[in-house]
Amino acid sequence: MLEYLNHFKIIESLIIIIIVVFLKVMITNSLRKIRIKFGFQKARVIIINRIITFILYSTTIVIIAFIWGVDEKQLLVYISSFLTILGIAFFAQWSILSNITAGLILYINYPVKIGDSITVLEKDNNVSGEIRDIGAFFITLKTKEGELITMPNAMILQKNIRYFPE
């Protein structure tokens, strides 16, 4: 009887994995079509695809854990403990959390995008360059001299910016 249940769990797990792979392919193709139709930048679609993939795989792991008999209470304790530790780590490094949040804002809802030329207006020293990358913590600018400058995302949101869209 136990052997039959294990075979059944293996089959269920394989079915879930096949469904997830199929969904992943469909989502990737849909995002590619949306990018072409609406003219979104490839880098943004890649990031969105990574976020969706992370959520999809996390959900798959939880579903397979339930199939194999993980108790809901044990899983809830593990997840809440992990989130508590993560929250304490972010609270200890508040600037990191603000840079991640600023990176999301810059990426999703800000007038500048990768490829635009900007000038960060400061009192003593203005910094000009083309946006090469908007990461989780830093924005990377390439100056006319070919130098790469990284600036914290939170700083970009706090300063006045002059930009020249393409």
| Whether residue 92 has pLDDT greater than 60 | no
d(CA 7, CA 33): 39
pLDDT computed for residue 100 by the predictor? 73
This prediction has a pTM of: 0.54
pLDDT computed for residue 40 by the predictor? 74
d(CA 73, CA 157): 41
pLDDT digits (tens, 9 = 90+) for 109-132: 667 778 888 888 888 888 889 988
Q: What Cα–Cα distance (Å) separates residue 77 from each residue in 41, 66, 71, 154?
A: 40, 14, 10, 33
pLDDT digits (tens, 9 = 90+) for 66-81: 888 888 788 778 778 8
Enter the tokens of residue 43: 């880098």
Instruction: Name the residue with higher pLDDT: 59 or 107.
Output: 59
DSSP result, 73-129: HHHHHHHHHHHHHHHHHHHHTHHHHHHHHHHHHHHHS-S--TT-EEEEE-SS--EEE
| Whether residue 149 has pLDDT greater than 60 | yes
Q: Which residues contact 18 (CB under 8 A, 6 or more apart)?
A: none
Local structure of residue 159 (DSSP, 8 states): S
